[in-house]
Amino acid sequence: MTIIKKVALGLSGGVDSAVSAYLLKQKGFHVTGIFMKNWDETDEKGFCSSDQEYEDALHISTKLGIPLKQINYVKEYWNEVFCNFIKDYEEGLTPNPDILCNKQIKFNLFFKYAIHSLKFDAIATGHYAQSSFGSFLEYFKDNTDARLLQASDSFKDQTFFLSQIPQNALRRCMFPIGSLNKHQVKEIAEKIGLQKIAQKKESIGICFIGDRTFQSFISEYIDAKPGNFVDIETGKIVGSHQGIHNWTVGQRCNIGGVIKPFFVYRKEPTTSTIYVASGTDNPFLWTDIFYTKDSFWIRNSPLTSKNLLKCQFRFQHTKPLTACTVYKANVTGDKLLIKLEEPLRSITPGQYAVFYLNNECLGSSRIFNSGPSVNIR
């Protein structure tokens, strides 16, 4: 058993990590802020958001009277997150870089740096999530598993993005604002003199894209490869596009001269063909069965002796949870078949199916195809 005294907090420059630092200090922990620089590209206006975020983190640490260290993970982020992001789009997938960033950077490299190099007792982040060990750790035990629980504020809950963090990091991680809502967090920031931070515009979307459109950003890294829109029902060409990386499953297509709008059904990277279906309620856009691979469980596999699990799932963090049954689809168990109680629209290859049971986030598995005719090898 290790008593927790020294805590390394991921201090991003935002209100959530700022209030987390304050609450930790109020509990008597010796807190050090760690600013992780993951991206250093300057946009077309000469603005680098990372520099501004560091200035805000410095302002927070000065106001709260805690040390601040900066660590550069630009190279690691590029190799472990961004290159995979580009590769996925080239292959017609829709990735989630936030899940990868948490898995590879924050709860891997940052965790190891804080615990093993800097000799901290635990780490903390400003995520809206909770641990079965509590919001503030007094001590931890290596032989006891921690459960990742949803935040009190279901709208802000971020367990979706934490669904692949390893157990060794979760055991020694605090989520100080997991029991609060956003309004309460901003109120605390205002009261402790961090009005500027409390009033910051909340960042949404993919961090490294910033204020640019997705199309203008992605065109800097992937060459245009024109192709056709093909109606999945008739096989006829109904339009053209400049690259499959500009489109995602379920997205409405800008095809003129049609009565019903077309939506992306499937992308074929080898021919640069995008198959489309007409009408929002087209059956091709809905499915109640799909397959996943590279499964990750935060604790031990929850599948029963019959190799199944009844639980809930989502593949977009803002969507309601949907009841499902999970089946083991191969011998090793890294591939799963998911059967939904009711069909959902636009299950997207490349995204993660994140599983929940009784308020606990169990883990996730990456979607690679949908429909009952898919063969599992």
Closest by Cα among 319, 315, 297, 325 to 352: 315
Spatial contact of 292 and 335, defined as CB atoms under 8 Å apart: yes
Residues of each domain in the chain carrying CATH 2.40.30.10 = 284-370
Please report, for the chain, how many H helices and E strands are present, in that order: 10, 19
324 is annotated as an active-site residue: no
Average pLDDT score over residue span 201-211: 68
Spatial contact of 289 and 337, defined as CB atoms under 8 Å apart: yes
**At residue 377, does pLDDT exceed 70?**
no
Average pLDDT score over residue span 185-197: 97
Compute the distance between CA of residue 104 and CA of residue 165 in angstroms, rounded to an integer. 8
Q: Phi/psi of residue 366, each to 5°?
A: -85, 130
CATH number of this structure's domain 2-198: 3.40.50.620
Q: What is the pLDDT of residues 127-155, one digit of tens each?
A: 999 999 999 998 877 788 999 999 999 99
Q: Which of 48, 83, 207, 311 is catalytic?
A: 207
Residue reference for tokens 């989520």: 175
CATH number of this structure's domain 284-370: 2.40.30.10
Q: Which fold has domain 224-280?
A: SH3 type barrels. (2.30.30)
Closest by Cα among 7, 4, 5 to 126: 7
Residues of each domain in the chain carrying CATH 3.40.50.620 = 2-198
Residues of each domain in the chain carrying CATH 2.30.30.280 = 224-280
Compute the distance between CA of residue 93 and CA of residue 266 in angstroms, rounded to an integer. 10
- Give CA separation, 147 vs 200, 298, 358, in Å: 32, 8, 11
Q: What is the pLDDT of residues 56-76, one digit of tens each?
A: 999 999 999 999 999 999 999
- The residue type at 214: F
Q: Which of 48, 83, 101, 311 is catalytic?
A: 101
Specify which residues 276 forms β-bridges with: 231, 264
83 is annotated as an active-site residue: no
Q: What is the pLDDT of residues 313-329, one digit of tens each?
A: 999 998 999 999 999 98
